[in-house]
């Protein structure tokens, strides 16, 4: 046992611990201003100096490593005098005019001055940095309060990886600045406000809090962010009126620690938008038909994508609305059979709500026609990893990424779509890990890459196969792992034999040498060269982790691509251990949970196949209902086709917006219009809801309780932060209320199926019917939550999958063939369109485009076009561009950029005025996963004809 | 035999007009071999021209362009006009007292060889030490360096052999070597002179260190304000690669080693080793906490041996002549010689190399020739803004790390500025503090704000606005800044103040109590 003595008490310490860490962990409050547990110690504030026996001068505790027998005093008269002197110097630059300061009550300098009895400086007061920079929508930089602790600089460099700010100037003129003292938008800042988070004074203040957000005027309320699938915990600050004033991170958050991205930190204001739905609505033609309105009305054929402020609805009360919906759904079932009804569950609703929703479709309406947008993102993950490993989810934990030796990112724009996971990658790279990025676009994380492989869109499969070819050829495979844990190796080895790096280079445009280097780094888990292999001179295998997302899955060969990544990991034994694995990054807050809890047409909750009579019967028994439907239902794209063909007549859409998110929107619109009845349950009148007959107002995730399951399978509690607007209700309540009414109309009476009184009760039912959630209850989920599989109430959860055996027993190799995307560019459509997200917006923009700050940063749509293509088409940067595919045409602004290579155009799918999905195709689906090929469509670009009154530049 | 003419063409010579002299000699000297060389150290006599005709070796200086025709005529045996002043007539310059008391080790070839010529270096035994070292086990090389009692010439005086041993003992690769040539003290020019005059010696020292600790790459961090030194260094590195003392398989030994020149961007603090490494890594040069020390975790977290130019330049001679010879030149705790840039109010300014242990008096009077214009000596400042002033009564102090430290000054990297009776000691303290304050990196409070407050008191004193209580406050502030600053820059910033207050208290008293400047330097309120 190794111990040190601090202030006369003995403490044991872990290897590598500092005196500061041990002191703080044991309640010794060492004075400090520049220290942050997540950042490299700086030693700049000098307040944490302590006396060490045998050393002449005091030493900062933050940088002092524990050694056996060290004797430290943190509080002596001499130290106090010294600290008073130092605080005196601080205060000479930063007068304690606290009453007028926005950080009053939440300022570290203020509380330290208080602790040491400093009220004013004994030196001459000189404020060297009297500059207020108010140049963005998120925070102000008030330099007069800056004490140059440098925490903002370190968090930007060490965690966020943007290096947007640093110290500038010298001596008394030192200050924190963006390059050349410019404004924030001209820097590499991503407005995550992590700098604001760590600022100890009022030098960096969130704009929403100015004047109104004094610490005593707000109440902190914690819940999980409703945006992407990372599952960050956020602390919202709520004022006396019950309105959110601001949001911030907090250190105990299990996934994100203290740090957030711009959406999580600043994108909450949509909740109080005046456009929120607050009453049930019935379309005017239906209202007239039902005698609820005197005015006859006909639905116009204006596309929701073009409609400005549609006035199609009349408000009604809940009973009226739900009765109409129940009448229509029950009527359709009775008249045409259960399978003419379909429902879309939601990746933005809670586990409890998705569970109730699919239960309603299956047990209430009698159909398996339930799907949701996971179909459009990670369906190929579920099929691919399910086949290879037996479980279709992220194999490892988010926190484990920082300890990887090599990270391979492919088809994931991590920094923009999963920013907080990119922080993990940045930490790993800063610590010496190598990073291999394989992506057709020069995405931001490429700035940190050791190797960047840029295949032509769709040709990445050649790179993966050639990497495996090289690994086998060079003997870098993990023979023992293959032997003990897998099957089908010979088939794989035979399959990749023909894919030499040279073949792959020709097909993908990636130099053979780069493929070989990438294979080496990944297979051996090599760290960056400058840092050695991290294991001294032992050529031991390091830990390699694969991160991927929709660049892999949204492809007509998505399942095969996922299988290839699974092959790669198994080949090198890079799975089943911490900081390794195959990690699909899921895109929406609860897309994992919506899949887990049966929001899919072929499986019941817990991925139990609907064709399996035993599972079906067990589920029916758990629910207490009659036989469940045994035929897999329709997937999203199939539902749209069926609707157009008249085979699906009524749809129930909960919190989804296919009118922007699905491929080939012209077809989606035609399909939705051909329905007899469409009911949408949402927080806003989305493009889809505009086509609905009835619209039901739902509570947003910030307004209700329940659970979300994040991308690493962590089930976390949500807590209501604000009250829902008007009559809006949580989705689970609406669905149960509706189900009861449907039961009545189908002559079942009170089945007792829909009487769950709280989300906690729903979770208890989930635990009885869903094996991987079997050990969960809201009580257990408080705090850090639980990572499934968690089968029993005493099970601790499973952060790393497949450690001893794969979920399916042996891991299975699959020899896949290289297949190119279905729609290849040709003379008429010579460019490839790729779609995705940008940092500042999310999905179809219903939430982010109603956020003031996010909209300030990126107000409207744009397409990334390479300079070569822009010049050929005569299009300038920031000028309008027409993009046409075989499905349609859109007009947007060109952003001429080297992020896309020549021949590639990138368009985010957030913009209803320039909907990317008017251009994408829905004919080529992955044969197993049924996912459409969003990532590759053939297009052409042109300069739009000059409109009247528009000057041509 | 042909007459060989050489012109001193380092920065000091060029500043005095050596280029024009060289051009005139080349243009007018048919049949003459006109060569270039570095600085002999006698900067106050530049431009220096050496004329060797096989029978005598004349050193003239200063030589003006106007005197070149007379010089050329004299070389041809014709007397025509007045010749420049003769500095020395002997090849060993033993007749030149300025040089006579000096012992040249690190600067032995400065002013002797052509710094652009590898052949010249080789002809004077260049790279012989490297050959011998490569044939010696690394452990033995380190033992020899330790036995020589060589200590870090950057000023802190850490035993070089011990430092090398720590790097050697780390089992993490790769390892790095850094040569700190970021010479920033006002009035210091030791590194510049050595690199401009004999660049290969520094490379050779680094190569021996690389062999000893097992490093594969060497960075030379040099001020961008030294373009000539950078150019000569780059030329030498190119020659070394071609010759085989850099690159793969150095001199057939199997060792791979190469050099990278990293030019600084004008920050004084980058002379501090941790800031220097941050700068090489591509960050703003700001010091970080030690430990970890660079020998254990330096550049990019890897074991890194960092020494200054003079330390490396000492190494080849230790290998060739043996540790006892080197140790024999110094004192009990420190071997060898030390170079100083002698400047200020001194008669003979220039680069001086002396055996450690010589007294300040010998240095200033016997070599330096005393104060200029016969004025009275007042103090000598060692170690630039990090060092301190030593008054006349302590002139018999030996030039040795420990002895100097006792006076409150430091050995420093070699800056030695002489002040005479016309210098105000309050003003000189203010000057150095203003320098430190300007160069503070801004990271730690005692340095960034503390030195500012100190400066404010000194400025007030020189303007007649300071009170006695301000001086008391200054003293306690000096203690806080010294004890709590993050790096050497702040920790040593109070030294000029503390030493001047200690030895020239009466001058402070005069400024504060009587509002008078005894030296008549301070305006005391701008004449109001």
pLDDT exceeds cutoff 90 at A532: no
* Min Cα–Cα distance to chain B from A139, Å: 23
Considering only CB atoms, B173 lies closest to which of A123, A175, A532, namely: A532
Q: Tokens 């076009």 — which residue?
A: A865
Considering only CB atoms, B483 lies closest to which of A44, A58, A124, namely: A58
**Distance, CA of B53 to CA of B438 (rounded, Å):** 52
The model's confidence at residue A531, banded by pLDDT at 50, 70 and 90, is low
Indicate the length of chain B as a whole number.
Answer: 528
CB contact under 8 A, B172 and A532: yes
Q: How many CB pairs under 8 A join A and B?
A: 112
Burial of B270 (0-12, 13-18, 19+ CB in 10 A): buried
| pLDDT per residue as tens digits for the range B287-312 | 999 889 999 999 988 999 999 999 99
Mean pLDDT across A716-741 = 97
Q: What is the mean pLDDT of chain B?
A: 94
| pLDDT per residue as tens digits for the range A428-465 | 999 989 999 999 999 999 999 999 999 999 999 999 99
Q: Closest Cα to residue A365, out of A604, A767, A621, A650? A: A650
Contact residues on chain B for A172, CB-CB shorter than 8 A = 437, 440, 448-449, 452
Q: Closest Cα to residue A845, out of A227, A139, A224, A191? A: A227
Peptide bond into B174 cis (omega under 30): yes
Would strands A406-410 and A434-438 be described as parallel, antiparallel, or unpaired? parallel
Mean pLDDT across A675-685 = 96
The model's confidence at residue A948, banded by pLDDT at 50, 70 and 90, is low
Q: Tokens 């330049």 — which residue?
A: B313
Q: Closest Cα to residue A218, out of A253, A248, A242, A196? A: A242
| pLDDT at residue B525, rounded to an integer | 63
**Distance, CA of A463 to CA of A451 (rounded, Å):** 13
CB of B475 within 8 Å of a chain A CB? The answer is no
**For a pLDDT cut of 90, what percent of chain A falls above it?**
86
CB of B266 within 8 Å of a chain A CB? The answer is no
Q: Which two tokens stand for residue A764?
A: 């208890």
Mean pLDDT across A256-281 = 95
pLDDT exceeds cutoff 90 at B122: yes
- B497 φ/ψ angles, rounded to the nearest 5 degrees: -70, -50
Contact A711, A697 (CB under 8 A): no
Contact residues on chain A for B489, CB-CB shorter than 8 A = none
**Distance, CA of B455 to CA of B478 (rounded, Å):** 11
Mutate to test the interface with B, among A51, A81, A85 (most CBs of B within 10 A): A85
| pLDDT at residue A536, rounded to an integer | 39
Considering only CB atoms, B300 lies closest to which of A148, A530, A537, namely: A530
pLDDT exceeds cutoff 60 at A952: no
Q: Tokens 């739902």 — which residue?
A: A698
Contact residues on chain A for B446, CB-CB shorter than 8 A = 46, 86, 89
Q: Closest Cα to residue B279, out of B302, B257, B298? A: B298
Residues of chain A that touch chain B, judged by Cβ-Cβ distance less than 8 Å:
41-46, 49, 57-58, 60, 62-63, 65, 82, 85-86, 89-90, 92-93, 122-124, 126, 147-148, 150, 166-167, 169-175, 432, 530-532, 536-537
Nearest CA in chain A to B480: A82
**Distance, CA of A92 to CA of A85 (rounded, Å):** 11
| pLDDT at residue A893, rounded to an integer | 95
Contact A543, A405 (CB under 8 A): yes
Nearest CA in chain B to A538: B172
CA-based max dimension of chain B:
74
The model's confidence at residue A951, banded by pLDDT at 50, 70 and 90, is low
Q: Closest Cα to residue A471, out of A394, A390, A547, A406? A: A406
| pLDDT at residue B74, rounded to an integer | 87
The model's confidence at residue B137, banded by pLDDT at 50, 70 and 90, is very high
Q: Closest Cα to residue A188, out of A417, A447, A438? A: A447
User: What ipTM was predicted for this assembly?
Assistant: 0.92
Q: Closest Cα to residue A20, out of A74, A81, A79, A68? A: A74
Contact residues on chain A for B473, CB-CB shorter than 8 A = 122
At residue A758, the 3 state secondary structure works out as coil
**Distance, CA of A728 to CA of A948 (rounded, Å):** 45
| pLDDT at residue A516, rounded to an integer | 96
Contact A611, A579 (CB under 8 A): no
The model's confidence at residue A923, banded by pLDDT at 50, 70 and 90, is confident
The model's confidence at residue A390, banded by pLDDT at 50, 70 and 90, is very high
CB of B444 within 8 Å of a chain A CB? The answer is yes
CB contact under 8 A, B442 and A90: no
Which of A487 and B75 is assigned the larger pLDDT?
Answer: A487
Exposure class string for A265-304: b at 16+ Cβ within 10 A, else e: bbbbbbbebeebbebbbbbbbbbbeeeebeeebeeeeebb
CB of B439 within 8 Å of a chain A CB? The answer is yes
**Distance, CA of A233 to CA of A253 (rounded, Å):** 5
CA distances, B225 to each of B11, B181, B231, B267, B284 (Å): 11, 11, 12, 11, 18
CB of B139 within 8 Å of a chain A CB? The answer is no
**Distance, CA of B310 to CA of B181 (rounded, Å):** 9
The model's confidence at residue A890, banded by pLDDT at 50, 70 and 90, is very high
| pLDDT at residue A683, rounded to an integer | 96
Give the contacts of B88 (CB within 8 A, at least 6 positions apart): B57, B58, B59, B95, B96, B99
Contact residues on chain B for A530, CB-CB shorter than 8 A = 174, 300, 302
| pLDDT per residue as tens digits for the range A281-324 | 999 999 999 999 899 999 999 999 887 778 899 999 999 999 99
Peptide bond into A745 cis (omega under 30): no
Nearest CA in chain B to A121: B453
* Min Cα–Cα distance to chain A from B35, Å: 43
Q: What is the mean pLDDT of chain A?
A: 93
Q: What is the DSSP string of A247-276?
A: EE--TT-TTTTT---HHHHH--GGGG-TTS
The model's confidence at residue A537, banded by pLDDT at 50, 70 and 90, is very low
Least confidently predicted of B91-100, B105-114, B403-412: B91-100
Distance of CA A912 to the CA centre of its chain: 21
- A784 φ/ψ angles, rounded to the nearest 5 degrees: -85, -5
**Distance, CA of B432 to CA of B423 (rounded, Å):** 13
Exposure class string for A385-411: b at 16+ Cβ within 10 A, else e: bbbbbbbbbbbbbbbbbbbbbbbbbbb
CA-based max dimension of chain A:
93
**Distance, CA of A554 to CA of B439 (rounded, Å):** 55
Q: Which two tokens stand for residue B293?
A: 């020390």
Q: What is the DSSP string of B251-269?
A: GGSS--BEEEEEE--S-GG
* Min Cα–Cα distance to chain A from B438, Å: 5
Contact residues on chain B for A166, CB-CB shorter than 8 A = 283-284
The model's confidence at residue A212, banded by pLDDT at 50, 70 and 90, is confident
| pLDDT at residue B91, rounded to an integer | 86
| pLDDT per residue as tens digits for the range A83-95 | 999 999 999 999 9
* Min Cα–Cα distance to chain B from A549, Å: 32
| pLDDT at residue A949, rounded to an integer | 59
Contact A528, A432 (CB under 8 A): yes
DSSP state for residue A169 in the 8-state scheme: S
| pLDDT per residue as tens digits for the range B481-505 | 999 999 999 999 999 999 999 999 9
Mean pLDDT across B11-34 = 90
**Distance, CA of B156 to CA of B177 (rounded, Å):** 18
**Distance, CA of A2 to CA of A16 (rounded, Å):** 12
Q: Closest Cα to residue A683, out of A287, A266, A270? A: A270
**Distance, CA of A595 to CA of A790 (rounded, Å):** 16
Contact residues on chain A for B452, CB-CB shorter than 8 A = 126, 171-172
**Distance, CA of A749 to CA of A747 (rounded, Å):** 6
Q: Around A258, how many Cα atoms within 13 Å sit in the side-chain half-sphere?
A: 15
**Distance, CA of B155 to CA of B272 (rounded, Å):** 11
pLDDT exceeds cutoff 90 at A912: no
**Distance, CA of A871 to CA of A866 (rounded, Å):** 9
Q: Which two tokens stand for residue A499?
A: 């894919």
Considering only CB atoms, B442 lies closest to which of A65, A92, A174, namely: A174
DSSP state for residue B396 in the 8-state scheme: T
Mutate to test the interface with A, among B266, B304, B443 (most CBs of A within 10 A): B443
| pLDDT per residue as tens digits for the range A327-378 | 999 999 999 999 999 999 999 999 999 999 999 999 999 999 999 999 888 9
| pLDDT per residue as tens digits for the range A607-630 | 999 999 999 999 999 999 999 999
Give the contacts of B86 (CB within 8 A, at least 6 positions apart): B58, B59, B60
pLDDT exceeds cutoff 90 at A868: yes
CA distances, B129 to each of A33, A908, B159 (Å): 52, 65, 20
- A125 φ/ψ angles, rounded to the nearest 5 degrees: -80, 125
CA distances, A676 to each of A100, A223, A649, A655, A660 (Å): 62, 39, 5, 20, 21
CB of B289 within 8 Å of a chain A CB? The answer is yes
**Distance, CA of B139 to CA of B142 (rounded, Å):** 5
Contact B285, B223 (CB under 8 A): no
Considering only CB atoms, B484 lies closest to which of A58, A171, A531, namely: A58
Contact residues on chain B for A167, CB-CB shorter than 8 A = 284, 286, 441-443
CB contact under 8 A, A86 and B446: yes
**Distance, CA of B444 to CA of B480 (rounded, Å):** 12
Q: Which two tokens stand for residue A570?
A: 């198994």
Alpha helix stretches (DSSP H) within B306-410: 309-321, 323-329, 360-361, 401-406
CB contact under 8 A, B453 and A124: yes
Q: Which two tokens stand for residue B163?
A: 């430092």
Helix (H) / strand (E) containing A493: helix A489-496
Q: Which two tokens stand for residue A641?
A: 């086709």
């Amino acid at each position: 046992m190794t111990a040190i003595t601090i202030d006369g008490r003995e403490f044991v310490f872990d290897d590598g611990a500092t005196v500061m860490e041990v002191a703080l962990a044991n309640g010794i409050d060492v004075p400090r201003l520049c220290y942050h547990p997540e950042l490299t110690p700086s030693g700049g504030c000098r307040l944490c100096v302590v006396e060490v026996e045998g050393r002449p001068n005091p030493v900062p505790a933050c940088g002092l490593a524990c050694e056996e027998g060290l004797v430290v005093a943190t509080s002596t008269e001499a130290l106090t005098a010294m600290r008073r002197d130092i605080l005196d110097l601080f205060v000479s630059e930063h007068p304690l005019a606290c009453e007028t300061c926005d950080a009053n009550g939440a300022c570290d300098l203020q509380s330290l001055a208080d602790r040491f009895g400093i009220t004013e400086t004994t030196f001459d007061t000189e404020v060297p940095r009297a500059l207020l920079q108010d140049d963005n929508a998120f925070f102000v930089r008030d330099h007069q309060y800056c004490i140059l602790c440098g925490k903002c600089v370190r968090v930007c460099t060490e965690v966020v990886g943007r290096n947007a700010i640093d110290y500038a100037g010298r001596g008394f003129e030192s200050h924190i600045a963006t390059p050349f003292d410019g404004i924030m938008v001209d820097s590499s800042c991503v407005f995550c406000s992590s700098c604001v988070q760590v600022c100890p004074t009022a030098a960096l203040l969130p704009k929403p809090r100015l004047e109104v957000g004094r610490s005593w005027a707000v109440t902190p309320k914690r819940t999980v962010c409703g945006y992407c699938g990372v599952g960050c915990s956020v602390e919202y600050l709520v004022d006396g009126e019950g309105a959110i004033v601001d949001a911030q991170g907090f250190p105990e958050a299990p996934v994100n620690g203290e740090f957030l991205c711009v959406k999580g930190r600043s994108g909450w204001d949509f909740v109080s938008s005046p456009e929120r739905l607050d009453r049930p609505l019935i379309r005017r033609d239906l209202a007239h038909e039902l005698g609820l309105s005197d005015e006859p009305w006909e639905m116009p054929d204006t596309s929701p994508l073009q409609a400005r402020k549609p006035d199609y609805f009349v408000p009604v009360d809940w009973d009226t609305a739900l009765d109409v919906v129940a009448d229509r759904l029950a009527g359709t079932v009775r008249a045409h059979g259960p399978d003419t009804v379909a429902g879309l569950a939601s990746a933005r609703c809670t586990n409890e709500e998705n569970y109730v929703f699919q239960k309603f479709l299956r047990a209430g309406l009698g159909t398996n026609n339930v799907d949701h947008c996971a179909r459009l993102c990670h369906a190929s993950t579920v099929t691919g990893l399910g086949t290879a490993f037996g479980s279709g989810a992220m194999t490892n934990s988010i926190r484990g990424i920082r300890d990887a030796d090599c990270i391979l990112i492919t088809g994931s724009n991590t920094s923009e779509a999963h920013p907080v996971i990119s922080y993990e990658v940045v930490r790993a790279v800063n610590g010496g890990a190598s990073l291999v990025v394989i992506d057709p676009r020069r995405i931001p994380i490429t700035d940190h890459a050791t190797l960047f492989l840029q295949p032509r869109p769709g040709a990445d499969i050649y790179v993966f196969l050639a990497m495996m070819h090289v690994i086998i050829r060079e003997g870098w495979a993990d023979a023992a792992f293959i032997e003990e844990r897998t099957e089908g190796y010979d088939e794989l080895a035979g399959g990749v034999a023909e894919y030499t790096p040279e073949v792959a280079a020709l097909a993908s445009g990636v130099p053979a040498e780069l493929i070989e280097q990438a294979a080496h780094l990944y297979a051996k888990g090599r760290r960056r060269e400058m840092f050695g292999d991290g294991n001294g001179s032992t050529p031991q295998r390091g830990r390699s982790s694969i991160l991927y997302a929709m660049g892999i899955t949204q492809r007509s060969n998505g399942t095969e691509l996922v299988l290839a990544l699974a092959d790669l990991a198994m080949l090198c034994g890079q799975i089943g251990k911490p900081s390794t694995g195959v990690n699909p990054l899921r895109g929406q807050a609860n897309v994992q949970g919506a899949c887990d809890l049966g929001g899919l047409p072929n499986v019941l909750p817990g991925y139990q196949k609907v064709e399996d009579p035993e599972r079906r019967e067990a589920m029916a028994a758990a629910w207490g209902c009659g036989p469940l439907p045994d035929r897999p239902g329709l997937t999203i794209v199939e539902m749209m086709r069926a609707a157009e063909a008249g085979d699906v007549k009524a749809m129930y859409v909960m919190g989804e917006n296919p009118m922007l998110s699905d491929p080939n929107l012209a077809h989606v619109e035609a399909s939705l219009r051909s329905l007899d009845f469409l009911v949408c349950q949402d927080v806003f009148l989305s493009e889809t809801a505009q086509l609905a007959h009835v619209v039901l107002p739902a509570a947003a995730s910030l307004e209700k309780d329940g659970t979300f399951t994040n991308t690493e399978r962590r089930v976390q509690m949500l807590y209501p932060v604000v009250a829902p607007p008007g009559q809006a209700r949580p989705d689970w309540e609406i669905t149960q209320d509706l189900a009861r009414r449907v039961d009545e109309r189908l002559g079942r009476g009170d089945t007792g199926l829909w009487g769950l009184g709280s989300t906690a009760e729903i979770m208890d039912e989930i635990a009885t019917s869903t094996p991987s959630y079997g050990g969960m209850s809201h009580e257990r989920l408080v705090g850090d939550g639980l990572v499934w599989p968690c089968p029993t109430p005493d099970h601790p959860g499973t952060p790393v999958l497949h450690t001893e055996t794969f979920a399916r027993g042996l891991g299975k190799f699959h020899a896949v063939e290289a297949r190119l995307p279905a729609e290849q560019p040709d003379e008429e459509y010579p460019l490839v369109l790729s779609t995705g997200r940008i940092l500042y917006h999310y999905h179809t923009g219903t939430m982010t485009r109603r956020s003031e700050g996010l909209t300030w940063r990126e107000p409207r749509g744009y397409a990334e076009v390479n300079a070569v293509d822009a010049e050929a088409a005569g299009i300038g940067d920031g000028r309008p561009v027409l993009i046409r595919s075989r499905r349609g045409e859109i007009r947007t602004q060109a952003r001429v950029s080297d992020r896309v290579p020549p021949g590639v155009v990138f368009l985010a799918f957030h913009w209803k005025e320039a909907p990317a999905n008017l251009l994408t195709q829905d004919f080529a689906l992955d044969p197993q996963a049924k996912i459409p090929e969003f990532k590759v469509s053939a297009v052409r670009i042109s300069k739009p004809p000059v409109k009247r009154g528009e000057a041509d530049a | 035999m042909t007459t060989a003419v050489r012109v001193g063409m380092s920065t000091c010579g060029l500043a005095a007009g050596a280029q024009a002299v060289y051009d005139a000699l080349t243009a007018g000297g048919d049949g003459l071999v006109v060569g270039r060389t570095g600085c002999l150290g006698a900067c106050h006599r530049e431009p220096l021209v050496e004329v060797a005709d096989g029978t005598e070796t004349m050193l003239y200086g200063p030589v003006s362009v106007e005197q070149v025709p007379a010089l050329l005529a004299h070389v041809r045996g014709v007397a025509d006009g007045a010749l420049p002043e003769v500095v020395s007539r002997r090849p060993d310059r033993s007749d030149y007292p300025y040089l006579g008391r000096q012992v040249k080790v690190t600067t032995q070839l400065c002013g002797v060889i052509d710094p652009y010529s590898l052949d010249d270096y080789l002809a004077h035994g260049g790279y012989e030490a490297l050959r011998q070292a490569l044939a010696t086990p690394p452990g033995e090389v380190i033992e020899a360096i330790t036995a020589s009692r060589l200590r870090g010439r950057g000023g802190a005086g850490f035993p070089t052999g011990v430092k090398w041993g720590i790097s050697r003992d780390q089992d993490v690769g790769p390892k790095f070597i850094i040569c700190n040539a970021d010479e920033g003290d006002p009035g210091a020019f030791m590194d510049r002179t050595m690199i401009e005059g004999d660049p290969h010696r520094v490379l050779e020292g680094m190569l021996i260190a690389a062999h000893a600790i097992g490093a594969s790459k060497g960075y030379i961090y040099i001020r961008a304000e030294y373009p000539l030194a950078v150019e000569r260094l780059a030329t030498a590195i190119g020659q070394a690669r071609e010759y085989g003392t850099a690159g793969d398989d150095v001199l057939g030994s199997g060792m791979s080693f190469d050099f990278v020149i990293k030019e600084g961007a004008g920050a004084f603090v980058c002379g501090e080793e941790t800031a220097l490494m941050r700068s090489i890594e591509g960050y703003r040069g700001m010091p970080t906490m030690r430990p970890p020390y660079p020998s254990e975790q330096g550049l990019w977290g890897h074991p890194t041996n960092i020494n200054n130019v003079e330390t490396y330049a000492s190494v080849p001679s230790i290998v060739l002549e043996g540790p006892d010879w080197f140790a024999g030149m110094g004192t009990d705790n420190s071997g060898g010689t030390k170079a100083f840039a002698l400047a200020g109010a001194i008669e003979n300014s220039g680069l001086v190399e002396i055996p450690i242990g010589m007294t300040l008096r010998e240095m200033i009077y016997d070599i330096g020739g005393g104060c200029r214009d016969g004025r009275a000596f007042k103090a000598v400042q060692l170690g630039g803004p990090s060092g301190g002033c030593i008054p006349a009564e302590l002139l018999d102090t030996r030039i040795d790390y420990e002895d100097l430290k006792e006076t409150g000054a430091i050995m420093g990297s070699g800056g030695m500025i002489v002040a005479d009776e016309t210098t105000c000691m309050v003003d000189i303290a203010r000057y150095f503090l203003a320098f430190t304050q300007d160069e503070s990196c801004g990271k730690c409070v005692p340095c960034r704000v503390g030195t500012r407050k100190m400066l404010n008191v000194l400025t007030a004193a020189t303007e007649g606005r300071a009170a006695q209580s301000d001086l008391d406050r200054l003293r306690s502030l000096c203690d806080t800044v010294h004890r709590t600053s993050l790096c050497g820059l702040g920790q040593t910033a109070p030294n000029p103040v503390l030493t001047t207050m200690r030895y020239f208290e009466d001058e402070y008293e005069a400024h504060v109590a009587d509002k008078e400047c005894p030296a008549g330097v301070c305006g005391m309120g701008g004449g109001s």
